Amino acid sequence: MRRRRVVVVPLPSSACTLDPFPIGANMKCGTKIVRALLAAVFVLSGCGLDPFNPIVSPTGRDAGARDGGTPDAGGIDAGRNDAGPPPDACVPSGLELCDGVDNDCDATTPDGFAEPTLGDACDGPDTDVCVEGEIVCMGRLLCDDTSDSSTESCNAMDDDCDGSVDEDAVCEGCERAEFRGEPYLFCTNRRGFAEAQVRCAMLGYSLATLTDSPEDDFVWTTAMSIRSEEWRIGLNDNDLDGTYTWISGSSAVYRNLGPGEPGGSGGCAVYWSGSPHWRGLSCGVNRSYVCDRD
């Protein structure tokens, strides 16, 4: 004979009615009855657990947000929490590098904090080599130099930071030299006095004012080493009143005129060709010229 399985379902206390549709004060009691009956059905079907009191896996579910670890493999099975791997928490992998990852698992540490070059001076993606920015971390190391390219101009400065000052191509025929820490331009594009002064002024200079013998010797020697010919300086009597002055406005009284000069040949001084002395020459005649920053 086949045995029947008898299930005893515990019911609420005698204070409760067995009204299957409890109302009011008997609501809680009715709920208990329904839960007890459902539990019996699950046991009879062989499920082996109370759906209202599931057994929780010792490992538990992943409680944290995904952060790059291995996600839990399972889902909810048979009413229990899954028994997959432990929570995929952050695992420190080393120093905090600039890679967008929390390497040291410390949310308060800025990304790239441990990069040895962070904050170093740098030059950005322009054509000059001037250091105008610093290394910053923006998911990767970058130079924050966003300035425009600095181009060389003929101004006695290394504008593009390449180690050369007033490269000849920029000064258009003018070579730069220094004396007593002051810059001079020796320009071989021959011009009259007025044009030469305009050109010097465009470059931030003036036709040269010579204040003593050592400076005079330097200018003469340098000019002759570039081209052996007559060179204009800033001494002139442009208004032909017989008084020579410096175009720069200087009150310097130094003079190195040759014998019989300035004579009557013109109102602007030049170095004599082959001589360290000066002579007068018509101001409109084109000659090489010397500029300085006086």
Contact 210, 233 (CB under 8 A): yes
Q: What is the 3-state secondary structure (H, E, C) of 18-73?
A: CCCCCCHHHHHHHHHHHHHHHHHHHHHCCCCCCCCCCCCCCCCCCCCCCCCCCCCC
What is the reported pLDDT for 44?
Answer: 52
Please choose, from the candidates 223, 230, 246, the residue with its C-alpha nearest in 3D space to the C-alpha of residue 176: 223
Q: What kind and span of H or E run contains 202? A: helix 193-202
pLDDT, one tens digit per residue, over 1-49 is 555 554 444 544 444 444 444 444 454 555 555 565 655 554 455 544 4
Which single residue is written with the structure tokens 């013998």?
213
Which single residue is written with the structure tokens 């003929």?
154
How many CA atoms lie less than 13 Å away from 49 in the CB half-sphere? 10
What is the reported pLDDT for 149?
Answer: 83
- Alpha-carbon distance of 255 to 26, in angstroms, equals 125
E strands, the chain, in order: 121-122, 133-137, 141-143, 174-179, 182-191, 206-207, 231-236, 245-246, 268-271, 278-281, 287-292
Residues of the chain with pLDDT under 70: 1-88, 156, 166-172, 264-265, 294
What is the reported pLDDT for 231?
Answer: 97
- Alpha-carbon distance of 242 to 193, in angstroms, equals 17
Q: Please name the residues in contact with 198: beta carbons below 8 A apart, sequence gap of 6 or more.
A: none
Measured from the Cβ of residue 40, the count of other Cβ atoms closer than 10 Å reads: 14
Q: Please name the residues in contact with 245: beta carbons below 8 A apart, sequence gap of 6 or more.
A: 235, 236, 237
Domain range list for the chain: 90-150, 168-292
| CATH topology for the 168-292 domain | Mannose-Binding Protein A; Chain A (3.10.100)
In the numeric block, which tokens belong to residue 191?
Answer: 């011009």
What is the reported pLDDT for 170?
Answer: 62
- Alpha-carbon distance of 47 to 272, in angstroms, equals 119
